[in-house]
Amino acid sequence: MQGIYETLALALLATTLGALLAVPICFLAARNLMSTNPLTYAIYVIVRTLLNFFRSIEALIIAIVLLSLSVWVRSWDASADVHTTAALGKLYSEVIEGIDPGPIEAVRATGANWLQTVRYAVIPQIVPTFTSLTIYRWDINIRSSTIIGFVGGGGIGFYLWQWIVLGDYQAVSSAFISIAIVVIIMDYVSARLRERLN
């Protein structure tokens, strides 16, 4: 139970921090908001490229690199934060690019600056979808944290690795059943929450 609790807590922490970092970044990665002049377009290209780069590297690889460099005490937190920020930043920016352009044009026509355009024309259209994507990402992070635990990231994966090494197959079976139950419950709960938000 302690391993499951740690897994859920680590996944929630990584998702929360990743989402908080992704929100300001996603506005800079949205073409419809950043193509008004050459400077903002250059920022868009740089941010979008960085998001694609970090999103393409699996959290497990980032965790292994950080562990080998002894950069982070909890490499799972760092690797999941980086990967979650990049993945959510990309998804959030695509949501922004798909919104109705009418309110943006109307707000800009009043002489609003970039921040006012985001506040009054973009945010009201994106909140439900952002929430849904964040819940889905938490579900993904729970599953990922089990694998990351194998390289010392903590949670049930860490205990599972110890039990495999010790040959305690009764504990290994209990861990597999616990992981399956948690994933099934989280999948059901997140699906219901996403349905209610959409």
- What's the DSSP call for residue 121? I
Q: In the 8-state DSSP scheme, what is residue 110?
A: T
User: In which band, very low, low, confident or very high, does the pLDDT at 2 lie, cut at 50, 70 and 90?
Assistant: confident
Number of domain units in the chain: 1
Torsions phi, psi of 73, nearest 5?
A: -65, -45
Backbone region of residue 158 per phi and psi (left: phi > 0; alpha: psi in -120 to 50; beta: other values): alpha
User: Is the CB of residue 44 less than 8 Å from the CB of residue 34?
Assistant: yes
Name the average pLDDT for the chain.
83
Residue 96 · residue 30 · CB < 8 Å = yes
Global pTM reads 0.78
Q: Which of 35, 55, 52 is nearest to 44 (CA)?
A: 35
Q: What is the CATH number of the domain that holds 103?
A: 1.10.3720.10
Close Cβ partners of 196 (under 8 Å, ≥ 6 residues apart): none
Query: Residue 114 pLDDT more than 50?
Result: yes
Residue range(s) defining the domain that contains residue 160: 2-197
Q: What is the pLDDT of residues 24-67, one digit of tens each?
A: 999 999 998 888 889 999 999 999 999 998 888 777 777 677 66
